Structure formats: structure tokens, C-alpha cells
Structure 1
Amino acid sequence: MDNLLALRVFVRIVESGGFAKAADAMNLPRATATKLIQELEKHLRIKLLHRTTRQVSVTPEGAAYYERAARLIAELEEMDEAVSNSRAQLRGRIRVDVGSVLANQIIIPALPDFRARYPELQIDLGVSDRPVNLIGEGVDCVIRGGDLADTSMIARHLADLDWITVASPVYLNARGKPQHPDALQAITPANPTSPAITHLPGHAIAGYFSSLSGRAFPLEFHKDGERILVHGDAVVAVNESTAHLNTLLAGVGIGQTFRFAVEPWLRTGQLQQVLPDWTRPHHPLHLLYPMNRHRSAKLLAFADWIQDVFAPFNCRGR
């Protein structure tokens, strides 16, 4: 049995969802693909795939084996890339994970340019605000914001993003514009046990909470050396950045988000800035990837490209 070919066929079957598609993509007879998988399963003494006349599914053992096999095949491809050192012939697949609003408003609109440069390089774009495990989930690189906690990764700075505090005109007409961050703080009743006193928030907050911890992030305001954190009354909180933008547009309350994300709606008047004299520190963005991937030609090509894509959004650059 050709072990390497069997691994490639197995990975392609899992990714394409069928023996026929995998065999056709690899220009192999379908009988050969079937025989290779049978020999691989016999060699491993486990069942990798459930096969019926209509579909192919992966067994739990097969799923675990796939994760390692896919990484191994990727590493072999990187070895080939390093030897050929030809940017024009980059091919294969790269898995990138990024937050929702960054993907939808910055990266996806720029992808036709990437495809034109590297037509044989496929991007699998994982779009989620949930932090991922690069090694455990087979991800090549991620774009993350905030302080860098994992020093085992290579980090390439992409941009520093501006924050802005906004609300919809519908909300502001109903509740008024706050003149100070303290107006966003929840009002605590003087006698919480008295049924005659109702808890009334100063303003409603359209909140954002961590997918990892479940805790809501406070609004943050800086001015003349003063720093104010506002937890407020988060009447609605979400854990995904595009959904957060939509809660602001819907008039749920006041919130903070990236300036680039709301600029189209600021121009049309669907959102308005509040507390413009109060700022928040810039939000750094980095591309992160494991140390063992620093020689990957396709990853470095993507890193160079994505750095150019984010350059116009770098508030320090402006």
C-alpha cells in the first residue's frame, strides 16, 4: 500500500464528502480510491468511514485520524513550497479564522484580488468571534484583537482600530443624548426592597459578551487622564460582532464598536456618535500563526496580502 497516497485520498474523501469526487479530483480510478481506503483501514485495524449507497460519513476514530492526516499533508505541501519557492505556483488550502465584522466588511470584499493573485490557493475562512485553538482545530492562522497573551505564536501587526460610541436616532430621540459617561451607569434604587421604587437605568446598553467566558465587556471612556468603565444596563447582549452592529442599528441602546464598521451608517444618519469628547484606546489587530509554520510559502503570501488589505483601516497610519 502507498501510505502517503492513501492518506491523501482519505483526506480528500473527508473534505469532498465522497469517494467519486475525491477520485475524480485526484485523477484516480474510483476502484483505486476504494482499495486504498480498505487497505488503510485494514492496516490501522479501525473503521475510518461509514459508507452507504448515498453518502459517506466519518467515524469518531476517522475524525481524529483526519485531523492529524490533514496536518501532515499540509506540512508535506509546505515542504514542497519551500523547495520550489515559487509564489506564482502556490497551490493548496489555507484555513484562516477571523471575527465576523472583520470578515464581512474587510476581508471578503477583498478576496477577488487574492484569487486573482493566487488562483490555485484555496481559502477556508472560518468566520466567528469564538477564539479557536490553532493546533487542535487545524487552523493555519487567525486574526485577533487586543493584548497578545500567547507568546508561542508568531504575531504580525495588521492595524490599530478606532473605537466609537454610537446609537440610532430612534433611540436618542426617545431617551436623549448622554452628556457624560456617568449617564450610562445603571441607577441603583435607594431602597431596593420597596415596591414603590422601580429600577430605571440611565440608558440602555447594547452589550457584547465574551464567547469564551460569558462575561460582558464594559464600555470604556478616557479623557484628560480620567478613565471610566461603564457596565450599565445591558438590555441586550450578543457575542458576535455583526449581530452587535445590528442591535445598534435596531435602536436597542448605546454601544461601542469599531469606527470602520459603522462609517456607512454614520454617513446615512442611521447611527449617530455620542460622547465624542471621550475616547477609548486603539484596538490592535494581529495575524497569529504557529512557530512551525513560519516557512510556509502560502501562509507568508497570505500574511503579506492581508497586511496590505488592513493598511487603509489602520488609524495610526492615517
Structure 2
Amino acid sequence: MDRFEAMQIFVRVVEARSFSKASDMMNLSPAKVSRTVHLLEERVGVRLLNRSTRSVGVTEDGALFYGRCVRILAEVADAEGLLTKDRRTPSGTVRVDTSAMLARALLLPRLGEFYARYPDIDVRLGLGDRNIDLFQDGVDCVVRMGVIGDASLIARQIGRASIVTCAAPSYIARNGTPRSLDELRAHHAINYVSARTRKSYPFEYRVNDDIVRVDMRSTLAVNDGSTYISAGVLGYGLIQPSRFMVAEHIARGELQEILTNCESPSTPVSLVFPHRRNLSPRLRAFSEWVSDVAQDHPDLQGV
């Protein structure tokens, strides 16, 4: 048994959660994939996978072994990349998932520069604030805001987004401007509900060394970032978005920052990969470019 090939096959089975899918992805026979994993389990002396008629799941020992295999395969890929990355021009397709708001505010304004630098790379953006399976959906990376809760993924933080509390002039004209957190509780907000977690986000503020969360009264809740900001511009309530997403609305006077004396905690912006294994030159090029864009943005705190 080739142990290196066995690790590759095992990792692919774990990621695909299926022997048949792994065999298709690797262009190997199902019998070879199954036999290789069986021999690997015999060699290490523990069960690595739980098999059923419907799915394949990793055992506790298998999860530990998977993590070590991923690191070993990544080191090999990195070593090979040292010899090849400067000898060819990156080309091909990079599949990226992100939210429509992040694409519109962060990526699209600078994407022309990326194409000028890498004309042979085709970027395909999937837009949506939802849970995706990077393995099953064939996504190379995700550009996402917020804390990444899945420990099996590799997250590279590229910035921190400043958070502001805003209101439309029409809302302020009707309801006045809150000057403190106590006054804020008497106002109405537009609640943002995450399509991924289905939870409503409270307004957050840093008071001394503590984070104070204010659950706002609301008659409108949305789960789309563009709609959330549009509803704020129309005066349906207070909103608390990332500043870089509303900077143009603030500049045009469509939204006004309020409670500027109350700091809100920033939120991380990250690149998320299914693993460090086999990062292609085109994906490395895209990730470095996105990191540079985030570092240059005036409303993102660099890391």
C-alpha cells in the first residue's frame, strides 16, 4: 500500500462523505477506494470511518488522523509549489462564494485590477448569505464576515470591519436622534436575521471592557444585506451595518451616523478555505489580491 496515496484517498472520502463520490473525483474504481481505506485502518489499528448505507462519517480517531493527513499533504504541496509557482502564469477558474454586499462593496470596485494582473484567471462569484459545503459545492474559497464557527475549515482573517449605527434623515425627523444607549432602547430598528443561523443580531456597543447587547424593538426583519440597507435608507428603522457597506449612502446624506460617542466592536472579514492542501497558483493569486484590497480599504482595519 502506498501510504501517501492512501492518505490522499482517505482525505477525499472524508471530504466527499462518500466512497463513490471520492472514486469519481479521483478517477479511481470504488473497489480500490474502499480497499485502500480498509488497509489503512488495518495499518493504523483503529476504525477511521463509520459506514452506513446512506453516508460515511468520520470517527473521533479518524478526525484526528484526517487533520494530520491534511497538514502532511499541504506540506508536500507547498514544497512542490516552491519550484513551480514562479515558472508559470496563473490561469483557470477560481470559484468564490460571498455575500452580495461584500461583492458589491469590496470586490467589484477593484476586480478590474485583478484581471489586469491575471488576465487568464476566470473568477466565478456565488452570492448568498447561507451555509455552504465547500467540499460538496466545489467552492475554492469563501469571503465572509463574522466569526467562522467550523473548526474543520481554514480561515485567514484579512481585516476587521468597522460597525456604525445609522438612521435615515426621514426617520430622525419623525423620531428624533438617540443620544445614549438608554434612549436607543426607545427606538425601532430593522432587525437583520442571518440566513445561515436564522438568528436576529442585536445592536452591540463596547462599554469599558464589556460588550453591551441591545435587543431592539422592530416591526421589520430581513435576511438580505442589500434589503437591510435599503430599508434603512427608506426610514423604516435604525440599522447597524458595516461602515464600508454604507459609506456611499452616508456621503450622499441618505444615512446619518448616530451614537458616534458609543463604539461598536468590529467584526472580522476572512478568507475561508476547505483546507490548505493543493492551493493552486490561481487561488493563491486571488487570495493575496483580496487581502491587499482589504488592507487598502479605509473602513477596514488591517491585520
TM-score (structure 2 length as normaliser): 0.69
Equivalent residue runs for 1:109-258 within 5 Å: 109-185=109-185, 202-258=186-242
Equivalent residue runs for 1:1-318 within 5 Å: 82=81, 84-86=84-86, 89-185=89-185, 202-313=186-297, 315-317=300-302
| CA deviation vs aligned residue, 1:230-268 (integer Å, no higher than 9, x gap) | 222222111121221111111110010011112222222
Amino acid at match of 1:142: V
1:89, 1:210 → 2: CA distance?
39
| CA RMSD in angstroms, aligned pairs only | 2.9
Structure 1 residue runs of 4+, over 4 Å off? Answer: 67-73, 81-84
1:170, 1:147 → 2: CA distance?
34
Amino acid at match of 1:243: T
- Point out where structure 1 has 5 or more consecutive residues left out of the alignment: 1-63, 186-201
- Point out where structure 2 has 5 or more consecutive residues left out of the alignment: 1-17, 28-76
Number of equivalent positions: 234
User: Contact 2:165–2:257 (CA<8 Å) still a contact in 1?
Assistant: yes
Q: CA deviation at 1:70?
A: 9.3
Q: CA deviation at 1:183?
A: 2.7
User: Contact 1:87–1:301 (CA<8 Å) still a contact in 2?
Assistant: no
Q: CA deviation at 1:86?
A: 4.7
Q: CA deviation at 1:144?
A: 1.9
146 and 170 in structure 1: CA distance in 2 versus 1, 3 angstrom threshold: same
TM-score (structure 1 length as normaliser): 0.66
Find the residue that maps to 1:264 and give its secondary structure: helix
Q: Could you tell me the percent identity over the aligned residues?
A: 31
Find the residue that maps to 1:132 and give its secondary structure: coil
261 and 95 in structure 1: CA distance in 2 versus 1, 3 angstrom threshold: same
User: Contact 2:96–2:142 (CA<8 Å) still a contact in 1?
Assistant: yes
210 and 69 in structure 1: CA distance in 2 versus 1, 3 angstrom threshold: farther
